[in-house]
Structure 1
Amino acid sequence: MCAVAFSCKPVSQITIEILEPAEVTIPSYIQAVSFANRSYIPWLAKDPSDTARRSVKDLFVIDTLISNKLFLGLIEALSASPLFDLNNPPIYQLRRSDSVRFPDLLTVDQAGVICDTSQTDCLISLEGYELIDTVFYNYLFYSDDNYEVTYLLAGTVQWRIYDGIYGTVVDDFMINDSISWIMTCDILKECMDELPEAADAYREYSYQLGFKFGQRLTPEWYTARRFFYRTGNREMIKAAKMVDEGNWNEAVNLWKSISESEKDIIAARASFNIALHYEMEDRLIPAIDWATKSYDRYKEDYTKQYLEILEQRKLNKLKLQQQLPLEEIH
């Protein structure tokens, strides 16, 4: 974990990098992954609302783009995680000729056969999708630009994760999302010319949907803002200068001495700073202890909020320990 400080009085802001657990906890025995595409074939469906006005050739091209980019986005997101073995993962084409958007679950035997054949531990399946593109036109009466044209892509994609070892469904998730491009201009044709081609729009949209599902399965780093107190007495100012010079350990020793001060607000500030130091080291239990001492000495609203943040981080760390090897968490 790293921190960057920005000096300002009476506090200094810092940023720290925190690892957020994945939304879905994949069992630790799952490493090798296979993929399947179970979505229905749009040009064979009986009455698909999203295939109106498109030829079989166009549908074939768009369906191919959607499928390829969904899996590309998913696999690239998962590649950032140490959880999965993604060395040339197989993608099985189990396409359906019915008109059911989102099918029933695979049976335990069906999922097991695929995992046994591919020698993988689980199957991540694209179960189905429904994507619709629409163009909206608006005439602008009170603008120098006369026209506003919006190209909207919206839809739903369903993914399931089948445990090939125990025959359970690890995750069953539907993503609902949309993306739009808006152009304004004097001449309607100019707006239309500036909009992306349908193929390019579907490429971008499908990749994003696949990537988002991959993020659901992958722990992710994010940047959080924190601050520490610089003032209160001369010793607090001295400790802050130590931090400016990168001597956090020396500052902590001084803050521990200051935390015994008879002045509650100064003792609370020193204890708060110590809590921050321990959080930066990912030692959340002592961080909570010192934040609690701070709040007990002086009831500061932010300290209460900080305690809630630390408690949530402690729960997240427990979840991370189920998702990652210990050496990956720090």
Structure 2
Amino acid sequence: MFSMNRFQWRFKIFGLLTIGLTLQSCITQRKISFSTLTPAEITLSPEISEVCLINHGISEPEDSNGVFYGFAGQLYYDSTKYDTLISWAVMDGLTDGFATSQRLVISGEPLLWLRSSIEKETFAFISDTMMDSFCPSNIADASLIIDKMSIFDNFDYFLMDNGLYYMQLTALAAIGFQFYDLQNKQLVDQYISIDTLSYSTYGYSWEKTIATLPGRAELYQDIAYDIGKKYAWRLTPGLKKHQRFYYLTNDKDIQKGHEYANQGLWATAARYWIKLTDNKNKRKAYLSAFNMALASEMEGRLDIALYWIDRALEKYHTAEAVKYKTILEQRQKDLDLLIKQMSINP
């Protein structure tokens, strides 16, 4: 009799665990990604809107203007001058980066200030008199100097036992920038932007495999462009990619909301998800309230998103909901700063 009761008790526990796992397996997370305008690292004066661009990255012609590079563990030298190519790629990146928010615009054509062979410092000294000769304050509010540029690339490969080549090409670049407020005659920012860029490939033929990698000029253009855009986003708002998810279950309203969310119709999706937010089933109420928070964020209503994530937390205090609330609070702070940074005094 005792062993029979113990068997029945174990069977009941097993049955409850099975039901619990079955219910849990009905819930999935639908991941999404999107980009939003994010505040710059530096908040500029509202009086600054037009920028004079000075290219001080190009050196005077001389024999030592080439670049060193690594190839299969050995150091080599390329006498080709790449500084003109690199500086123009940086300026393209700056232009596109500023265009993201249109907070700053480049005034006129970029000015060339050749770098002397005796200049070793990253940042060139420039007097107020010299700055005025380059960029008078009546044509621009600020000046941006592209300063010393350093770049290095390395190629390496491995030959596998099966005859497969694995190849990797990596570039490392460091570029100095100076940003001056011409109206108040003061240095706003002095910054060295460092970045790496890697490409990898594999194949059985040496010639065909190495041909899939970019050449040195293309590699340098790509990394210089990225550095220019990233520095533009240091001064002005830029794009940031976000990852989110919403819950998906077999419930017909959750499913219907998913159909519209999948099309980017978040307001319509919310019309179905909101039906379950007061459901007596706490799990359904939690899942739908969480989804409502995401729909509100996607509609640009962070205040309403915070309301719904609090509603979700009232049902279940999950790690996912706590994390999402922290993200929404930070996004609200970012939005307040973004509004401040985008203000311009005419």
Query: Normalising by the residue count of structure 1, what TM-score does the alignment of the two structures yield?
Result: 0.73
Equivalent of 2:150 in 110, 130, 139: 130
**Aligned partners of 2:166, 2:266: CA distance in 1, in Å?**
56
Determine if the alignment matches structure 1 residue 142 to structure 2 residue 161: yes
Equivalent of 1:271 in 289, 297, 308: 289
Aligned residues: 309
**Aligned partners of 1:161, 1:244: CA distance in 2, in Å?**
48
Match of 1:76 in 2: 96
Match of 1:4 in 2: none
1:106-153 per-residue CA deviation (whole Å, 9 max, x = no partner) reads: 4455445533267111111111111234455x67373415x7665543
Equivalent of 2:183 in 151, 161, 165: 165
State which structure, 1 or 2, has the greater radius of gyration over its C-alpha atoms.
2
Letter in 1 for 2:179: I
Structure 2: any 5+ residue segments left out of the alignment?
1-24, 70-75
- Secondary structure of 1:39's match? coil
**Aligned partners of 1:109, 1:66: CA distance in 2, in Å?**
28
CA gap of 1:68–1:104, structure 2 versus 1, over 3 A, is closer
Equivalent of 1:26 in 31, 44, 47: 44
- Secondary structure of 1:116's match? coil
1:187-214 per-residue CA deviation (whole Å, 9 max, x = no partner) reads: 8788777765544443333333323333
Q: Identity of aligned pairs, percent?
A: 20
Letter in 2 for 1:268: Y
- Using the TM superposition, give the Cα deviation of residue 290 of structure 1 relative to its aligned residue in structure 2, in angstroms: 2.2
Q: How does 1:192-271 map to 2 (within 5 A)?
A: 197-216=215-234, 217-220=236-239, 222=241, 224-228=243-247, 230=249, 237-238=252-253, 241=256, 244=259, 258-271=276-289
**Aligned partners of 2:260, 2:199: CA distance in 1, in Å?**
49
CA gap of 1:163–1:142, structure 2 versus 1, over 3 A, is same
- Secondary structure of 2:135's match? helix
- Answer yes or no: is the 8 Å Cα contact 1:40–1:99 preserved in 2: no
Aligned-residue Cα RMSD (Å) equals 4.1
Match of 1:289 in 2: 307
- Using the TM superposition, give the Cα deviation of residue 251 of structure 1 relative to its aligned residue in structure 2, in angstroms: 7.0
- Answer yes or no: is the 8 Å Cα contact 2:253–2:273 preserved in 1: no
Greater shift in the superposed pair: 154-163 or 176-185 = 176-185
Equivalent of 1:314 in 332, 336, 345: 332
Query: Normalising by the residue count of structure 2, what TM-score does the alignment of the two structures yield?
Result: 0.70
Letter in 2 for 1:82: Q
Letter in 2 for 1:122: A
Q: How does 1:15-164 map to 2 (within 5 A)?
A: 15=32, 17-24=34-41, 25-39=43-57, 41=59, 43=61, 50=68, 53=77, 55=79, 58-59=80-81, 62-86=82-106, 88-108=108-128, 110-116=130-136, 119-136=139-156, 140=159, 142-145=161-164, 151-164=169-182
Letter in 1 for 2:152: I
Match of 1:3 in 2: none
- Answer yes or no: is the 8 Å Cα contact 1:10–1:229 preserved in 2: yes
**Aligned partners of 2:86, 2:188: CA distance in 1, in Å?**
24
Match of 1:13 in 2: 30
Letter in 1 for 2:256: K
Greater shift in the superposed pair: 253-262 or 43-52 = 43-52
CA gap of 1:252–1:199, structure 2 versus 1, over 3 A, is closer
- Using the TM superposition, give the Cα deviation of residue 98 of structure 1 relative to its aligned residue in structure 2, in angstroms: 1.8
**Aligned partners of 2:189, 2:122: CA distance in 1, in Å?**
15
